[in-house]
Amino acid sequence: MEFFNKAKAVRLKSHLDKYLYANDDEETVRQTRNGSSRKAWWTVELVDGKSHV
């Protein structure tokens, strides 16, 4: 997606104003209103030949 072409990291926010947040176990996620935490930042990895996320 063109939104991610220049991004190195993104925060994923829901329509309920909650962010996807990585738990300490590094395997599960939850939603939180704290979007400023580093655990709410996600690395963007584009896949060659794929135009969707």
pLDDT value, residue 26? 87
Structure tokens at 30: 């939850």
Q: Where are the domains of the chain?
A: 7-43
What is the DSSP secondary-structure string of 10-41? E--B-TTS-EEEE-TTSS-EEEES-TTSGGG-
pLDDT, tens digit, 9 for 90 and up, residues 30-42: 999 989 999 999 9
pLDDT value, residue 1? 60
Whole-angstrom CA distances from 37 to 1, 5, 19, 25, 48 are 25, 23, 10, 16, 30
pLDDT, tens digit, 9 for 90 and up, residues 1-53: 677 778 888 899 999 999 999 999 989 999 999 899 999 999 988 788 876 65
pLDDT value, residue 7? 82
